[in-house]
Amino acid sequence: MNDDLHVDIELDATGLNCPMPLLKLKQQLNKMQVGQVLRVRTSDGGSVRDFQAFVDQVGHGLLHHESNDSEFVFIIKKQR
In the prediction, which pLDDT does 68 show? 87
Query: Using CA atoms, how far apart are residues 79 and 32, in angstroms rounded to an integer?
Result: 10
Q: Is 46 buried (19+), middle (13-18) or exposed (0-12) by CB count in 10 A?
A: middle
Report whether pLDDT(30) > 80.
yes
In the prediction, which pLDDT does 61 show? 94
Which entry of 7, 9, 16, 18 is annotated as an active-site residue? 18
Report whether pLDDT(1) > 60.
no
Identify whether 18 is a catalytic site residue: yes
In the prediction, which pLDDT does 56 show? 92
Band (5; pLDDT cuts 50, 70, 90): confident
Domains and CATH numbers, the chain: 9-77 (3.30.110.40)
Query: Using CA atoms, how far apart are residues 69 and 77, in angstroms rounded to an integer?
Result: 25
**pTM of the shown model:** 0.90
